[in-house]
Structure 1
Amino acid sequence: MSNATVFVSEFVLHCEITSEIRSFTVVALAIIYLTTLFGNLLIILVIILDHHLQTPMFLCIGALAVIDVLQSTNVIPKMMALLLFDTSPIPYGACLLQMLLVFHLQTVEALLFTLMAYDRFFAVIYPLRYPQLVTGRTVWVGVLVCNIISGMPIIVYLIFITELSFCRTNVLPYCFCDYSTMVHVSCNENAKYFNFLSTIGITFGSTSLTVILISYGKIAHVALKISSKEGKKKVFNTLSSHLLVVGLFNIPLLTSYLLPGTGVKLTTEAYNTMVIVSIIVPPMLNPIIYSFRNKEIKTGICTFIKGIKAGPEIIRN
């Protein structure tokens, strides 16, 4: 077989899911996607329309909802088309864009989780100083900084990807355009490609998770001093729910990104499952965990629905 480098103008995605569960997977993805869109778009709309919800905490939740909509839309529709039509060619540029968007949005979401943990930390530990320490402007600056920080490693990924040459195949055995998969099928055998991935995973993922755990640990310590059992229960229920989402997002990603750099080769099924779960499940759960269980958000949604119902009556009158 010739090892001559060939110019690749497109890639062919091949999602390795058995035909027996393919139909079930497509239906499940459709339900997850529609649920994600409905929940997050509703949250965004309610926060925009209700000025009472335009506080730092809810602005963070709104920013998270925007990221979740973008990430799900970037990945799930293409996966569904791929499963329905078995293989799916995608232009080189579009594949590159999808891959970089996945990286960028993952990093921004990890940093945003950290920002939200800090917000709750200051609200609980320094309640009197909270209005001065955390403002709407602080949140917007924080979101901007999250995007800037996330963009830094993206430049390196872009350089690495343009270095890759393909002499064997342009078929990516994955459900969407993925950096690790692309490196595996390329002809380049340089450890730097996976070492950088592991370094970024440690730097952003582990650091973010550590900061979140420390913040929530201090909040839990303060909660233990609350005399009311109901108050303690409310705080710990909230913390456990938040940690569930953070864990679902961080642990599979960290595992899938760190192991290749240490020389451990995951099976295709294991890698696919971990990355896909961390990308599509948290965006569906985030509105439930961070919003629908919140009294202010529920009130805002009820007001919004009442306003829609009152609209036709006003017109008739």
Structure 2
Amino acid sequence: MSYYNTTEFTNPSIFILLGIPGLEMAHVWLSIPFCIMYAIAILGNFIILFIVKMELSLHVPMFYFLSMLALTDLVVSTSILPKVLAIFWFNTREIDFNACLIQLYFIHCFTAIESGIFVAMAFDRYVAICHPLRHSTILTNPVVAKIGLVVVLRGIMLMLPYPFLARQWPYCRTNIISHSYCENMAVVKLACADIRVSSYYSLSVALFVTGLDVFFIVVSYTQILKAVFSLPTKNARLKTFGTCTSHLCVILAFYIPGLFSFFTHRFGQNVPLYFHILFAIVYLLVPPMLNPVIYGVRTRQIQDRLLRLIPHRRT
């Protein structure tokens, strides 16, 4: 097809996504676990949102932040998987230039928002454990709304230059993206111009967002651990710290694959391209799938409400 040639042109109206180069024969088989993960993510996060909305006892800061996390996970997973499946099933590799920039923005924006939500949840755990008597007066509904607004605005503003920088570059080499979705640097690297501004900004934002968020989370949990170890009995320490285990699990599920993907992409020149792309897809699908499962298993209030929703057989 003419779309696949690499002759010179200026600012293409479409890009071509290759899926996972090197694993083309396995595209259909790979789509099966991806579909399962996506289905679990969609169902699980909608259940979380429904339960929090219907259960008045869950209208507290921790579950407000959990609802934000569920919405963010729905956006992130839906931003990539429909197009990935279109490539795998129907070989529909074309994506409009503007649609590519929108996808690029949504992925990076909501990933940054998710990172900010984890900081907000860590702060909630810090206040609940270190200042339990003042929790309701510190984290009032207006304060929670302001924290949520700051988290969202930070993601929106920091990632806004990505599509604008990508749009300004001339593209005259090829319109073929060796990826399954429009990732910022995968798109910008196709430009026939000096892209150091985009490259440096992308690296700076990634280090700033991740570094700052991880720092605040570590500070929060340092204070939490001090408070936990000051408790008089082992049972009290385990019970108190048990309220943080769900949050810690979702943090690890988010940051460890993200950091691994970031460093292998930047410094793993000997790592095959298909591994980079496969891991990049998994990184954006696994946290949205795991988060509702972890909170559903570890949170008694969600379990109780879910059990009430399931019709019981009469004896």
Question: Is the structural similarity TM-score above 0.5?
Answer: yes
Moved >6 Å (runs of 4+): none
Match for residue 27 of structure 1?
32
Q: Is the 8 A contact 1:15 1:174 kept in 2?
A: yes
The correspondence of residues 134-283 of structure 1 with structure 2, limited to 5 A, is: 134-236=139-241, 239=244, 241-257=246-262, 265=269, 267-283=272-288
Q: Quick check: 1:85 aligned with 2:90?
A: yes
- Distance in 1, matches of 2:191 and 2:235, equals 57
Shift of 1:166: 1.4
> Cα distance 1:250–1:126, how it changes in 2: closer, same or farther (>3 A)?
same
Q: Is the 8 A contact 1:202 1:254 kept in 2?
A: no
TM-score by length of 2: 0.88
Q: Quick check: 1:8 aligned with 2:12?
A: yes
Other structure's SS at 1:129 match: helix
Q: Is the 8 A contact 1:253 1:274 kept in 2?
A: no
Match for residue 62 of structure 1?
67
Structure 2, unaligned runs of 5 or more:
none
Other structure's SS at 2:189 match: helix
| Equivalent residue for 1:38, pick from 29, 34, 43 | 43
Aligned residue type for 2:297:
F
Q: Is the 8 A contact 1:201 1:254 kept in 2?
A: no
Q: Is the 8 A contact 1:121 1:219 kept in 2?
A: yes
Q: Quick check: 1:302 aligned with 2:307?
A: yes
Shift of 1:259: 7.2
Q: Quick check: 1:49 aligned with 2:51?
A: no
Q: Is the 8 A contact 2:16 2:176 kept in 1?
A: yes
Number of matched residues?
Answer: 308
Match for residue 108 of structure 2?
103
Aligned residue type for 1:115:
A
- Distance in 2, matches of 1:153 and 1:47, equals 30
> Cα distance 1:224–1:94, how it changes in 2: closer, same or farther (>3 A)?
same
- Distance in 1, matches of 2:206 and 2:28, equals 33
Aligned residue type for 2:138:
L
Paired-residue identity, %: 26
Larger displacement relative to structure 2 (296-305 or 94-103): 296-305
Structure 1, unaligned runs of 5 or more:
none
TM-score by length of 1: 0.88
Match for residue 130 of structure 1?
135
Shift of 1:175: 0.8
Q: Quick check: 1:114 aligned with 2:113?
A: no
- Distance in 2, matches of 1:166 and 1:9, equals 10
- Distance in 2, matches of 1:193 and 1:114, equals 27
